[in-house]
Amino acid sequence: MSDKPKTLGIMAMCNGPTFTEKAYYRQITLTGRKMGISVFVFSPRDVDFEKRSVIGYVYRDGAWQTRTLQLPQIIYDRCFIGPSYRNYKPFIEKLQNDPSITFMGHGLKDKWQVYQMIMKSPELNQWLPETSLFTIATLSEFLNQYRAVVIKPMSGTHGRGVVRIVHVNNHFSVMGRNRQNIPFRKRFKTRQDMQKFVRLFTAGSKYLVQPYLSLRTPDGTPYDVRVLVQKNGMGKWQVTGKAVRLGSKESITSNLHGGGKAMPFSTFLHQHFSAEKRLQIDAEVNALIEQLPPYIESSHGPLFELGIDVGVDRKGKVWLIEVNSRPGRDVFRYFDDKTVRHRSMLQPVKYANYLMKERVGGY
């Protein structure tokens, strides 16, 4: 038994003691304390690799306090991909290559690379909507075939930059959210005018194009299913919770950051599908989320948690919309599921403890 203290570092994009998800990190800290694990938050940019130390933030006496600490044994990566990620990437990669540090998981690549990875699986690709890299030519092809399409940023989050384009009789209807997540709606009489707008809108970013899926309730509310899966204290994948996100009717996505609400998956199914259809949908979603995590991990490398976004259209067809390796937990707070919320905060500490035990010379 080693007498070396057990340490878990939550790696985040900190600007001094300013960082997001403070409530989540506080709960992980308190949970870790009960299990004899010291938890702190740090920025990869604040690491001194020569001294093997880092400026970190510990939660003590009801407040976050700044400390100079030794590098942790286990790192929980919560650095979200975005415009500023490139400023952190070299430091993250250096930590990933450090043989004395274990990452709980390595972040997935962009949506296109994840799509290509899953397409190689004959068991899983049945749930993928047709997807292509966006160009004006592919947009035209998809519109000609489907009449309604969605374009989305390859690395976007929270519904930002997602746009629906519909060819309706003699015009094109375009609606979505801009980069600031502000909704907009436009109408163009000609294909050329629509294409001109889309070129300007997507300039500087890589986009994907997909058919628009009818993921709306009869009253027009957009929805999807968020499934959170995490590894437990035995290193095994486990479903933490399932919830349906319901967006505002003016939105094309169900993302809660754009205004919306949530409810348990089972409740939603009871409201909108027959008993026979519910059984079929439930079985299919369970099959998808059982097969997906180990498959992605076998292709990508170590993972700890995944937010799996699933669509169920009005006919009961199940679709795999997106997979996120740094999932948020807001959806479970919206319908006050304390059991799921507690489990989502317990699993990171339990899995970190498992990794410490598994390490050579560990606990």
Residue 246 or residue 139, greater confidence: 139
Q: Is 150 domain-assigned?
A: yes
The predicted-structure confidence for 15-55, as pLDDT tens digits, reads as follows 888 898 999 999 999 999 999 999 999 999 999 999 999 99
**Reported confidence tier of residue 256, pLDDT bands at 50, 70, 90:** low
In the chain, DSSP assigns E strands to: 6-11, 37-48, 53-60, 63-70, 74-77, 102-103, 132-133, 148-153, 163-168, 171-177, 183-188, 207-211, 223-231, 237-247, 260-264, 305-312, 318-324
The predicted-structure confidence for 64-91, as pLDDT tens digits, reads as follows 999 999 999 999 999 987 778 889 999 9
CA distances for 228 relative to 246, 259, 329, 335, angstroms: 17, 21, 8, 15
Question: What are the two backbone dihedrals, phi and then psi, of residue 24, each rounded to the nearest 5 degrees?
Answer: -65, -45
Instruction: Determine the structural domain holding residue 58 and report its residue range.
Output: 6-103
Residues 231 and 116 in one domain: yes
Residues 37 and 98 in one domain: yes
Q: Is 349 domain-assigned?
A: no
Residues 284 and 324 in one domain: yes
Q: Is 356 domain-assigned?
A: no
Q: Is 228 domain-assigned?
A: yes
Angle CA(217)–CA(223)–CA(300) in degrees, nearest 5?
145
Coil vs helix vs strand at 338: helix
Query: What was the pLDDT predicted at 92?
Result: 95
Strand pairing category for 183-188 and 171-177: antiparallel
Q: Please give the tally of structural domains in the chain.
A: 3
Residues 79 and 194 in one domain: no
The CATH number given to whatever domain includes residue 72 is 3.40.50.20
Residues 65 and 96 in one domain: yes
Which long-range contacts (C-beta less than 8 Å, at least 24 apart) are formed by 43-49?
Answer: 43/11, 43/12, 43/13, 43/14, 43/15, 43/19, 43/88, 44/11, 44/79, 44/88, 44/91, 44/92, 44/95, 45/87, 45/88, 45/91, 46/14, 47/71, 47/91, 47/94, 47/95, 49/94
Residue in this structure with the two tokens 């590098």, named with its chain if needed: 71
- Mean pLDDT calculated for residue range 284-306: 96
